[in-house]
Amino acid sequence: MMDAVIAAGERLAEALRAENDALAALDLTRAAAMATRKMQASDAFAAATAAAARNPTPTPGVTRAAAESLAASLADLGQENRRLLETAIALQSRVIETIAGVARPLTAAPGYGRGGRSRAPAQAVPLTLATRA
């Protein structure tokens, strides 16, 4: 049972490494294309872990050490993935804000409105970005 957990964990680690490499290179297109692979690997790992918890069996010391090492590696890769995703999202947000700032309609230019009062500049429409990590 633990062999299935380790195999699923190794697939998840490979997916995280690949996505982290793409994110570190700011290749957001490649990173986005890896999202499905990462989610599938994550789901498989969760299922294998749940199955192993339902049917606990004694594990040899070598297997236990491999599982502990893999758990530490997954924790590090997950933290790095989160940091890189947060950086990529912040970068994307700045790009979107920049584009939205220059894409304002001409009617949004400051000037005078009713009664000779100065018109407040138009604000960019709020945008939302949702991701699943």
What residue spans define the domains of the chain?
2-104
What average pLDDT does range 108-121 have in this prediction? 63
pLDDT for the residue numbered 73: 96
pLDDT for the residue numbered 32: 93
pLDDT tens column, 24-36: 999 999 999 999 9
pLDDT tens column, 71-109: 999 999 999 999 999 999 999 898 888 888 777 655 545
DSSP class per residue in the chain: -HHHHHHHHHHHHHHHHHHHHHHHTT-HHHHHHTHHHHHHHHHHHHHHHHHHHHS-----HHHHHHHHHHHHHHHHHHHHHHHHHHHHHHHHHHHHHHHHHHT--GGGS-EE-GGGPEEPPPPPPP-------
